[in-house]
Structure 1
Amino acid sequence: MESMIHKIHQQLVDKEFSCTQLVQEKLDQLKSNTHNSVNSLLEDSALALAKKVDAKIENGEEIGLLEGIPFGIKDVYLLQGTYTTASSDMLKKYKSPYTATSIQKLLDAGAIPIVKENCDAFGHGSSSENTIFGAVKNAVNPELVAGGSSGGSAVNVAKNWTVFSIGGDTGGSVRQPAGYNNIYGLKPTYGRISRYGLMAYASSTDCVSPFAQNLEDLRIVLNIMSGHDIQDQTTIDSETIEADVFDTKGVKDFTVGYYRNFVESDAIDPKIKVDFMAVLEQLKAKGIKVKELDFFDGETLVATYYTIAMAETASNLSRLDGTNYGSRIYDENLKESYAITRSEMFSEESKRRIVGGNQVLSQGHSDAIYLKALELRDEIIEHFAHDFKEVDVVLSPVTPNNPPKIGNSLKDPHAMYLSDAYTVGFSLGEVPTLTIPKGTATGIQITAAKSNEATIFKFANFLKESI
């Protein structure tokens, strides 16, 4: 199984280059990049950590698999002593007082963070254009969006400026940019990785999610970050995914499902539909059973997701009033100071989501809108429980369309929301989902039942080798 992590580890052990040389090379690439993928470089701390790895190697000490491996962090994760801006004016001068659990686990394994990465402010967007650092440019075609909200993280991995990066997936914010930039992006089962130290967007769907150029690197990073955390009561215990998961023996006995209404939607690009259906035909030709399934329509999924997500982000961001966190604009009294601070410091998209969230939570609307969305979410979870009794995995397009040109999404927020039609349902259902750069121009999603990441990895490797 190909792996950048294994390859670099061996090169470090064999002294083909030093860890300091490796980290400096990546930093130089990030400094000169023109894709707006960088919010801040962690140069001093990264080089200091690299020197420690070099010293261990020189002394003949054994180093761990992740020791000395440079990685990137979406700028919504706390890393003690670094700026954590969430790509926003509100927090552009905020320094982290502690480190997120997921990032700390990587640090404990010896990985070296080298960059805080550009993203939609507070995760509010599907294009990585809603940011004070400038729109992130697609790694394949810089005239197009990188996808969002974790666009900077995706681009850095796609351009090989980081070996892997940690994004955050709330409604598709890792899977969609992975598809747009032709790399792998995994949204794990909700609760598999602690959210402690991740700035909350929608707490009930936020997932710590890695990007990589291959499946083995995803497996390694996922195993390191997984596990119960006393700081996050939603975390669950999970089994280690062993390297033999990539043995494709038995895959031909799988039953593969797909959602009919996804491919029959008027919103899907004809080429993406043709390419996706061709993948299903290839599977049938290999003797794999393919089963057509019914699901909620895309507009219902998007409406349900955004109702819940906006309500939760309105609540989560109420703490950002300039008093305890972030920047503050003073006015004639405390109330006006709150008002002008939030009005000036939040982006238009963030304000749209906060206002929408407060609206659906307000008296007279919560019963008809918010509680209805919660009921639909329960139905979605039950639907998945039923489907995964009949199929082993579900395949779906990642997006209904190709990435738009930079600027177009900002003109039409509704179209931007609808671009999430094929990702948000899996977020609401709390199930693990992986984007692989195969099949269609924006990849294919592979989904399995809760805590069945191993099944996804096995089938993903089969697809990688077969189509």
Structure 2
Amino acid sequence: MESQIKKIHQQLVSKQITCTALVQEKLDLLKQNTYNSVNSLLDSTALDLAAKVDAKIANNEKIGLLEGIPFGIKDVYMVQGTYTTASSDLLKKYKSPYTATAIQKLLDAGAIPLVKENCDSFGHGSSSENTVFGAVKNAVNPELVAGGSSGGSAVNVAKEYTAFSIGGDTGGSIRQPAGYNNIYGLKPTYGKISRYGLMAYASSTDCVGPLAKSIEDIRIVLNVMSGKDVKDQTSYNSKEINENDILKNNVKTVGYFKNFIESEAIDASVKADFLASIEKIKAAGIEVKELDFFKSDILVSTYYTLAMAETASNLSRLDGTNYGDRIEGENLKDTYSITRSKNFSEESKRRIVGGNQVLSQGFSDEIYLKGLELRDHISANFNKDFSEVDVILSPVTPSAPPKIGDSLKDPHAMYLSDAYTVGFSLGQLPTLTVPQGTVTGLQITAAKNNDELVLKFANFLKETI
């Protein structure tokens, strides 16, 4: 199967290239890039690690598949000794005291981190414009947004500045930018990869996941990062997905939500392209079923009610006392107020205020608890659907990427751009964006713990549509 990781590995092993030259080339591209995808470069660390890989190869020692492969990290992951800013003013001087479990597993496998990547501040956004480092520009058309919140990660992969990148997905933050930049992006089953060391946005839907240019590279990276971690009690053991396991398609039935396609919000071109893809799938002998689901505005409302509540709770610790850039006021309360008012972005403040509102006395029963109840209904609906179909196919977004600046003018429109991604997050399901089928790709979703089937069907679609 097509794989940048395997291609680079072979070039290193056969001594066609040196790891040092490869890493330096990628670092130069990242330094020169005009897409605002870089928050900080890990150049000295990367070159030191590359020299060690070259020394092993020179001594005819065997190297692992990921050894010497350059990758990027969304700037919400702890990497010991590096700036971890979450693209915010509040943490612009913060250095990680430890390394996230998922990143440490990649380092242990020999992969080389090059860059901490630009993103929406604290993951709050769907365009990677809510960042103190400047809006990330789309890799296909720099006048458009890159998608969010893992926009920098998606752009670096699309431009081949990195072989792969690690993003974070709460309500679509890997899948949507992957679609906007025509690459693959996976939100695995919740808990398949440890969240330890990922800055929490909404803890009940936060997922660690890879972005890459091929299904095989997604599989390789997923296998390395997956597994139980004692530091994250939501994580679990899972079996490795072998390359041969995803070569033969065994999907017999595909479902899609007709209310997604009949929605007034969907662009005519996205609808037409999606239905054309469905016809090609039918022509390949696969049964396709229309499914009923919650209206997209209910999904968005439920997701943002719960996500804002969780982020208000998670970010309450950032007050300039233990974490963050402290701004002194006349008293302690004033210091907290000024520090948070000056250092959080407008979008982050909007979500914190919204979260505190739905958790407040008099509102929590009416709004927050209703959101929890709706999430249970959504999960039950998915269980019913997966008793009828093997996978669910959907557009990634209802429309093409907007121009830079448009989302900032209309936050409500930005929230609605997540209409087709947030439901699968609430269900904690494995979902993969593939760069086919519509202008922003297609999403493949399977039942919990069935990540292998998602990759399998993606491989089938690659040859079918």
Q: TM-score range by the shorter chain?
A: over 0.9
CA distance in 1, matches of 2:76, 2:364: 29
> Equivalent residue of 2:386, what SS?
helix
Q: Which residue of 2 aligns with 1:60?
A: 60
Distance 1:249 1:398, change over 3 A: closer
- C-alpha distance in structure 1 between counterparts of 2:457 and 2:159, whole Å: 26
Q: Measure, in 2, the Cα distance between the counterparts of 1:246 and 1:54.
A: 33
Find the counterpart in structure 2 of residue 228 from structure 1.
228
| Residue identity opposite 2:389 in structure 1 | V
Question: Equivalences for 1:86-97 in 2 at 5 Å?
Answer: 86-97=86-97
> What are the equivalent positions in structure 2 for 1:456-467 lying under 5 Å apart?
456-467=454-465
Q: Is the 8 A contact 2:266 2:398 kept in 1?
A: yes
CA distance in 2, matches of 1:124, 1:26: 28
- Which residue of structure 1 aligns with residue 438 of structure 2? 440
Q: Aligned partners of 2:351 and 2:246: how far apart in 1?
A: 41
- Per-residue CA deviation, residues 243-294 of structure 1 (Å, 9 max, x unaligned), is 112322534xx10000010000000000000000001111111211000000
Percent of aligned pairs with the same amino acid: 76
Q: CA RMSD in A?
A: 0.5
Q: Are residues 1:450 and 2:448 paired?
A: yes
CA distance in structure 1 between the aligned counterparts of 2:247 and 2:145, rounded to whole angstroms: 36
Q: 1:95 Cα deviation (Å)?
A: 0.1
Q: What TM-score results when the alignment is normalised by the length of structure 1? A: 0.99
SS, match of residue 280 in structure 1: helix
Find out whether 1:147 has 2:147 as its counterpart: yes
| Shift, 1:351, TM fit | 0.2
Q: What is the CA–CA distance in structure 1 between the aligned matches of 2:294 and 2:320, rounded to whole Å?
A: 41
Query: What's the CA shift string for 1:75-133, capped at 9, x where partnerless?
Result: 00000000000000000000000000000000000000000000000000000000000
- Give the aligned partner of residue 290 of structure 2: 292
Identify which of 319, 322, 329 aligns with 1:321: 319
Q: In the alignment, which residue of structure 1 is the partner of 2:373?
A: 375
- Give the residue type in structure 2 aligned to 1:422: Y
Matching residue's letter, 1:393: V
Report Cα offsets for 1:385-439 as digits up to 9, x if no partner.
1111110000000000100000000000000000000000000000000000001
Q: Is the 8 A contact 1:179 1:398 kept in 2?
A: yes
**Distance in structure 2 (CA, Å) of the matches to 1:437 and 1:136:** 20
* Shift in Å, 1:239: 1.1
Distance 1:414 1:466 in 2: 36
What is the match of residue 244 of structure 1?
Answer: 244
Deviations 1:303-360 (A, max 9, x none): 0000000000000000000000010000111110000000000000000000000000
The code of the aligned residue for 2:196 comes to Y
Deviation at 1:172, TM superposition (A): 0.2
Query: 1:307 aligned to 2:305?
Result: yes
Counterpart secondary structure, 1:95: coil
- 8 A Cα contact 2:397 2:419, kept in partner: yes
Cα distance in 2 for partners of 1:417, 1:331 equals: 34
Matches within 5 A, 1:150-299: 150-251=150-251, 254-299=252-297
For residues 33-44 of structure 1, what are the structure 2 equivalents within 5 Å? 33-44=33-44
CA contact (8 A) 1:184 1:214 kept: yes
Q: SS state of the match for residue 390, structure 1?
A: coil
For residues 316 and 109 of structure 1, the distance between their equivalents in structure 2, rounded to whole angstroms, comes to: 31
Letter paired with 1:317: L
Q: Secondary structure in 2 aligned to 1:39?
A: strand
Q: 2:71 aligns to what SS in structure 1?
A: strand
The 8 Å contact of residues 180 and 403 in structure 1, kept in 2 or not, is answered as: yes
Aligned residue in 2 for 1:353: 351
In 1, are the aligned partners of 2:246 and 2:453 still within 8 Å (CA)? no
Tell me the distance in 1 between the aligned counterparts of 2:431 and 2:229. Answer: 22
Check whether the contact 2:249–2:457 (CA below 8 A) recurs between aligned residues: no
Match of 2:101 in 1: 101
Give per-residue Cα distances to partners, 1:344-387, cap 9 Å, x unaligned: 00000000000000000000000000000000000111111111
User: AA paired with 1:394?
Assistant: I
SS in 2 for 1:389: coil
Indicate the residue corresponding to 2:17 in structure 1: 17
Structure 1 distance, partners of 2:369, 2:39, is 38
CA distance in 2, matches of 1:441, 1:346: 33
Counterpart in the other structure of 1:395 = 393
Q: CA deviation at 1:237?
A: 1.3
The answer to whether the 8 A contact 2:11-2:17 is kept is yes
Q: Separation in 2 of the partners of 1:278 and 1:366?
A: 44
Q: CA deviation at 1:209?
A: 1.0
Corresponding residue pairs, total: 465
SS in 2 for 1:40: strand
Task: Kindly provide the amino acid, as one letter, of the partner of residue 294 in structure 1.
Answer: D
CA distance in 1, matches of 2:249, 2:394: 23
SS in 2 for 1:25: helix
